[in-house]
Amino acid sequence: MLRKVFTVAEANAFLPDARRVLARVRAAGAAARRRADRIAVLGVLWGERVRDPSHTDHAELRRHGAALERIRRRVEGLVRRRLTARGIRFPPGGIEHGLLDFPSTLDGRAIYLCWQLGEEQVAFWHDLQAGFAGRRPITTAQAARIGKRS
């Protein structure tokens, strides 16, 4: 069974924080792409020779690689502290598309409340296995029952 169960109101109350987290993740992604591009350029210019510690640009390669690792650790820590520790998850493709799933229940069965960056509020849900393609709008009647323990 799911650890934390969100009501629609609880998920909506978390959205300002979710938007901040996603903005930071996207900024980190842009920084990581710039570093990866620099590594790619060094590879095109020098091939495998740049990996030799005596190569002129080896230190630059290592700096960019170390920066990528720091970015990865920072994003993983941020996501762990601010999202997954609270029970919220990124579905497959979630980071790239700004998708979050909030564990919940509907009439005693486990579901996810589904939200995508750009949406005003949590307005969709899906079964655990359905994913984004299986999103359904939350009706007023369902909203009153979502997240209620039976």
| 137-147: pLDDT as tens digits | 999 999 999 99
DSSP 56: T
> What is the reported pLDDT for 47?
94
> What is the reported pLDDT for 52?
94
Structure tokens at 93: 């493709």
131 has pLDDT over 80: yes
2 has pLDDT over 90: no
pLDDT digits (tens, 9 = 90+) for 99-119: 999 999 999 999 999 999 999
3-state secondary structure of 5: coil
> What is the reported pLDDT for 1?
43
Cα separation, 78 vs 111, in Å, equals: 25
In the sheet that 136-137 helps form, which strands lie side by side, from edge to edge?
99-106, 109-116, 124-127, 136-137
96 pLDDT band (50/70/90 cuts)? confident
Closest CA to 28 of 123, 96, 102, 128: 96
- Say if CB 121 and CB 12 are below 8 A apart: yes
pTM of the prediction? 0.83
pLDDT digits (tens, 9 = 90+) for 10-54: 999 999 999 999 999 999 999 999 999 999 999 999 999 999 999
Closest CA to 124 of 107, 110, 144, 139: 139
